Amino acid sequence: MAIGFDFGTSNCSVAHIIDKQVHAIPLAQDELYIPSTMCAPSREYISEYIYRCLNISPSDTAGENLLRRAININQQDGLEVHSDEVFFGQEALDLYLDDPRHVYYVKSPKSFLGIIGLKDTQLAFFEDLVCAMMTNIKQKAEAKLAAEITETVIGRPVNFHGRKGDESNRQALSILNKAASRAGFKHVEFQFEPVAAGLDYEATLNTDKNVLIVDIGGGTTDCSMIQMGPRWHGKFERNETLLGHTGRRTGGNDLDIFITFRKFMPEFGFGSQQLSGLPVPIPQFWNCIAINDVEAQRKFYTVENLRQIKQLWKNSGHPEKLNRLIHVHQDTLGHSLVREAEKAKIALAGQESHSAMLTIGKENLMIPLTPEAITTAIEEPVNKIKRLIEEVLVQSAIKPDVIYITGGSARSPILREAIKSVLPNTEIVSGNYFGSVTAGLARWADLCFR
């Protein structure tokens, strides 16, 4: 059996084809989407969990070295690995929010896969994370279908997070491919996420059109100009229909991070001065919330950096604000702050005001926000998305007949207006913001594995 697998930055979902119709597969009770999150008692717990509880061996020497190290550390810490100590999706998020200090929490590992310059064991750990999450989803889908799933088409962005272009993309695809194979998929193919979303939209067309697909996901934004319609229904070879294609690592997570940075971080000392008159260094306020940058997170949460923050607190003109930053470090609150920004962004899509409530130590900090404040905060990533659309228009040298927007972040009225500002006279349509990519991947899987 073949499935389409959207291993997303924010959520994961799977679907298959029955009698030419797309059927999404429930993963958590009746829920079709599972958050791309995972938590365990420690980082090392995960690698041993895969081996002990899932009976999955490492794929190479780096993975074997990582496993040996994990087993030794777990033994030293007195940790005995059990399957009921590892959580995925909403359960993982709830456990982290309940007590962030005592769990190892991971959100959106897809954001890390294109980072170049990491050690082999670090890449092996990313592979373990992805393998564990894919195995969890595969097992849930197989239980629901009462059948083994052996083939899959996995969605991929045009460009993964990473600064090395094709090299970053090759590394990310290699990690995904090896993780999927270890999870038990015997045949794995990849398809661009905006193309997949377009395939789902194409199934509704009665006439041929030039379609601009704008897929704004959690970690990336991808734009494709594709010729679509009845002439190409069911055809496997579609290269000639792809007229323009681009993407970058700017997505919904970036919007949330910028809201946190611009609107929350001033309450933690951002923009304040030390007694010497010098400003408090900006990286302290960025690294703690850059949840899609593994190196920034590592730098912020070191013991040495905590000493630096405490020194800044002693020399600060606003020590009460820097004290909050100390709590962010000690209580591992970066994800929680960005989560509150995401909730504010969603709330302000349908109302004129919202107050974000941040719990910092024993303090409840309320920050009032408006749609105008959100628009100002996310101006930089929004402009990057607009430039992607302009780039595709130059590549294709045509004007689209229609713009098809998809991806969870595409629900934002701010982003919809930004797209409209580039092509003010072109119709904008949308389908299932979360499910169109998955549905298109399922359609492609049906073609690939007939």
| The model's pTM | 0.85
Give the pLDDT of residue 233. 80
CA distance 59 to 66: 11
Superfamily of domain 2-185: ATPase, nucleotide binding domain (3.30.420.40)
For every residue of 180-242, DSSP letters joined together read HHHHT-SEEEEEEHHHHHHHHHHTT-SS-EEEEEEEE-SS-EEEEEEEESGGGTT-S--GGGE
CA distance 99 to 301: 17
Cα angle at 95 between 90 and 99, to 5 degrees? 150
Enter the tokens of residue 55.
């009976």
CA distance 58 to 41: 21
CATH architecture of 207-431: 2-Layer Sandwich (3.30)
Cβ atoms within 10 Å of 237's Cβ, excluding its own = 7
Domain positions in the chain: 2-185, 207-431
Residue type at 306?
L
Radius of gyration of the chain (CA): 22
Give the pLDDT of residue 349. 84
CA distance 7 to 35: 10
For every residue of 105-153, DSSP letters joined together read EEE-GGGGTT--S--HHHHHHHHHHHHHHHHHHHHHHHHHHTS---EEE
Give the pLDDT of residue 111. 86
Query: Distance between alpha carbon 37 and the CA centroid of its chain, in Å?
Result: 9
Q: Are 211 and 430 in contact (CB under 8 A)?
A: no
- The pLDDT tens digits along the chain (450 residues) read 999 999 998 899 999 999 989 999 999 788 899 999 999 999 999 999 999 999 999 999 999 999 999 999 999 999 999 999 999 999 998 998 888 878 899 988 898 899 888 899 999 999 999 999 999 999 999 999 999 999 999 999 888 876 678 899 999 999 999 999 999 999 999 999 998 998 889 988 999 999 999 999 888 899 999 999 998 887 777 778 889 989 888 888 899 999 999 999 999 999 999 999 999 999 999 999 998 887 899 899 999 999 999 999 999 999 999 999 999 999 999 999 999 999 999 899 888 999 999 999 999 999 999 999 999 999 999 999 999 999 999 999 999 999 999 988 888 889 999 999 999 999 999 878 888 999 999 999 999 998
Enter the tokens of residue 403.
């713009």
Enter the tokens of residue 402.
């229609």
Give the pLDDT of residue 115. 87
Token pair 């309320």: residue: 366
Cα angle at 445 between 439 and 446, to 5 degrees? 95
CA distance 315 to 168: 41
CA distance 136 to 151: 16
Specify which residues 12 forms β-bridges with: 7, 34
Give the pLDDT of residue 252. 87
